[in-house]
Amino acid sequence: MIFIVFDYHGELQRLIGRSRILLQNFNLIFFSSKKLKVIYAMKFRFKLSPKAIISISVLIAAVMLISSYIELNQSKKEIFQLLYEHSSTLLESILQSSKNTLNSSFEIENLVEDRLLDNARMIRRLDAAKSITKDELIKISKENSLYRINLFDSKGNRVLTNRIPEPGHNHGEENINRYEELKQILNKETEELIIGLKTAEFSSEERFAVAVARANNNGAIVVNMDAKDFLEFRKKIGIGVILQQMSKHHGIEYIILQDTIGILAASEKIDTVEAITDSDFLVPILKSDSVFSRTTYHKDHEVYEVVKRFVLDDELLGIYRLGVSLEDIKM
C-alpha cells in the first residue's frame, strides 16, 4: 500500500511572504506621499500650488493602493489554487487507496469462499459414496482448519456433525434445524450457497460459512471456519486504517467517508458531521465526478475542504471529505 505525501508548504510560504510584503507596502504608501509633498515643496514651491501637490500625492497613493490590492488578491487566488490542486491530488490518492483496499478485501474473501467450497465438494463426494462418518468429519476439519462441518437432510434437520462437546458450550445436539437458512438449496433453487459471515448461535463469535447440496439433492452440507483471523486481517488493511494514518500528516484536519445515512469511516478527530441530505453543497456531489471545494468550519475554526464521491464498480458508496488546515496561510 503506497501513501503519497505532498509537501507544498514551501510554495505556500513563498506566496504568503509575497502577500506580507504587499501588506507592508500599505504602511509605506502614506509615508512616501508625505515625503513626496516635502520634496515638491522644496524644489517646486514657485511652480506648483499646495493644492496641486496634494492632488498628485493622493493620485500616486491611490495608484499604489489599487496596485497593491490587486496584487494581494492575485496572491490569495494563487495560494488557494495551489491548495486546491494539492488537496485534490491527495484526495484522489485516498480514493485510489480505498479502492485497492476494498478490492483486496473482496479478493481475500473470494479465496476463503473457494477454499470452503472445495472442502464442501470433497465431503459431498464422500457422502455420495456412503463413506462419511463423524470421525471422518473430525479428521477432515482438523486437517483443513475447518471449525464446523454439518450435514442436513432434505427438511433442514442436522443428521451428522464434527462437533465435539466443548467446555462452556452446554447445548444439546438434538433438534437443530436450518431450513430457513438453507431453503434455496433444499428447494433446489441452487446447488451452492455463500452464507458468508454469521454470528455463532451459542456464542458471540463470528463464522464464515458456505453450503452445497448433498448428492441427489438429499439435503445440504454446511462448512464454516472461525472468522476471527479473517476479520482481524481485514481490520489491519481496512479503510479506517488508511484514514487514521493519512490524518496524522501535518495540515490535515479530518478525512471522512460518509453516505446519506451517516459516517462509514473517519479519522479520530471526527465525532459528528453535516448530513449530506441537509447540505446544499454536498447533495450535488453525489451526481458528479468533479472535486468540489469550499471553506467551512470545524470545531470553531475555518478549514479548507475538498469533496468527491466514492464509486466502486459503478456503485456509489458515499463521498470522501478532506479537511485541510488554513493555519499556515493565515500566519
Instruction: Calculate what percentage of the chain has a pLDDT beyond 90.
Output: 48
pLDDT at 16 over 90: no
Do 181 and 249 belong together in one domain? Answer: no
Do 239 and 260 belong together in one domain? Answer: yes
Do 214 and 241 belong together in one domain? Answer: no
Do 239 and 228 belong together in one domain? Answer: no
For the stretch 91-124, pLDDT in tens is 999 999 999 999 988 999 999 999 999 999 999 9
Task: Please tell me the predicted confidence (pLDDT) of residue 248.
Answer: 85
Do 307 and 249 belong together in one domain? Answer: yes
Comparing 108-112, 135-139, 233-237, which segment has the lowest mean pLDDT? Answer: 233-237
Do 228 and 239 belong together in one domain? Answer: no
Reported pTM: 0.68
Do 177 and 201 belong together in one domain? Answer: yes
Number of domains within the chain: 2
Q: Could you tell me the CATH number of the domain that includes residue 224? A: 3.30.450.20
Whether the CB-CB separation of 234 and 258 falls below 8 Å is answered with no
The answer to whether position 30 is within a domain reads: no
The torsion angles phi and psi of 147, rounded to 5 degrees, stand at -85, -50
Q: Which of 232, 259, 291 is the last residue of a domain?
A: 232
The answer to whether position 40 is within a domain reads: no
Do 140 and 196 belong together in one domain? Answer: yes
Task: Please tell me the predicted confidence (pLDDT) of residue 112.
Answer: 93
174-179 LR contacts (CB < 8 Å, sep 24+): 176/150, 178/150, 178/152, 178/220, 178/222, 179/155
Comparing 216-220, 265-269, 305-309, which segment has the lowest mean pLDDT? Answer: 265-269
Q: Which of 232, 259, 285 is the last residue of a domain?
A: 232
The answer to whether position 141 is within a domain reads: yes
Residue 267 structural domain: 235-330
The answer to whether position 186 is within a domain reads: yes
The answer to whether position 20 is within a domain reads: no
292 CB contacts (<8 Å, ≥6 apart)?
281, 284, 285, 306, 307, 308
Task: Please tell me the predicted confidence (pLDDT) of residue 173.
Answer: 57
Between 250 and 166, the more confident residue is 250
Between 155 and 31, the more confident residue is 155
Mean pLDDT of the chain: 82
- Can you tell me the mean pLDDT for 143-172? 84
Task: Please tell me the predicted confidence (pLDDT) of residue 6.
Answer: 44
Q: Which of 232, 255, 288 is the last residue of a domain?
A: 232
